[in-house]
Amino acid sequence: MEYKHPDIGKILITKRASQKKVALRYLPFKTLECSAPKRMSDKQIISFAQENISWIKNQEKKYYDKFLQFIEKGTMAMVYHYVDFSIGSENFQIEYQDERNTFLLHIPHFHPLKNPDAFDIFISNLEEIMKSEAKMVLPPRIKMLAKKYGYRYERLFIKNVNTRWGSCSSVNNINLNAHLVRLPNHLIDYVLLHELVHTVHKNHGKDFWRELDNCMQGKAFQYDRELKAYNTSIFL
């Protein structure tokens, strides 16, 4: 169920029989997710959200501050290209300048909470640029690594997702996150090899980590820790 709250905005309510208490999850500039026990009424859940409005407002401020820091950097680095932000244009516009390997993204001044449509367009444009870059970078890279280490996979998919860097299905189809192109090269290879090793070992047991560590010259655990410093959301 979705509920529009005058102070909080959109609230998405889900109920689970196994859940013991209400849990809140704030999705930056999007919605507040409330998961609750099945026995609770929508009115009780909304009341709980209202009681926690100071926490919600703190979350909004935290993410807005991060968004401002991201914008003020004026650029987003990828493997082959940069995205430069030009702030203050009335319209959204993307220009590609080949001689500088740079995408130029003109964006208006806006507040993502007050102008959610503008924020959605901004993020959508960045994701399209990333996906375009990822389709250039990732297929030949994983093909080379598979050949080098003797792995075989079926189909390769590249998507914009906010959950994980990659996955390998039971039939060895590999899904890769387009956000990978924002990582250092050694972490890109770590994720690609992580999924390639899953074509042989379907869990994260000792055999999996032993084989991945061999592929990474003994640095698999170090790279796994490094990866935790990065996020699959653009400005977080």
Write out pLDDT tens, residues 31-70: 999 999 999 999 999 999 999 999 999 999 999 999 999 9
Asked if residues 110 and 87 have their Cβ atoms less than 8 Å apart, the reply is no
Write out pLDDT tens, residues 129-147: 999 999 999 999 999 999 9
- pLDDT score recorded for residue 97: 65
- pLDDT score recorded for residue 120: 87
Which is it for strands 156-159 and 93-97: parallel, antiparallel or unpaired?
Answer: unpaired
Please say if the pLDDT value at position 148 is more than 80.
Answer: yes
The residues spanned by each domain of the chain are 2-66, 69-130, 131-227
- pLDDT score recorded for residue 96: 66
- When the pLDDT of each residue in the chain is averaged and rounded to a whole number, the result is 91
- The hierarchical CATH code for the domain 131-227 is 3.30.2010.10
DSSP annotation string for 87-134? ET-SS-EEEEEGGGTEEEEEE----TTT-HHHHHHHHHHHHHHHHHHH
Please say if the pLDDT value at position 198 is more than 90.
Answer: yes
Please say if the pLDDT value at position 162 is more than 80.
Answer: no
Please say if the pLDDT value at position 94 is more than 80.
Answer: no
The pTM score is 0.84
Least confident of 125-134, 177-186, 190-199, 211-220: 125-134
Confidence of residue 99 (pLDDT cuts 50, 70, 90): low
Residue 228: name the closest of 175, 199, 189, 187 by CA. Answer: 187
Please say if the pLDDT value at position 115 is more than 70.
Answer: yes
Name which residue leads in pLDDT, 50 or 107. 50
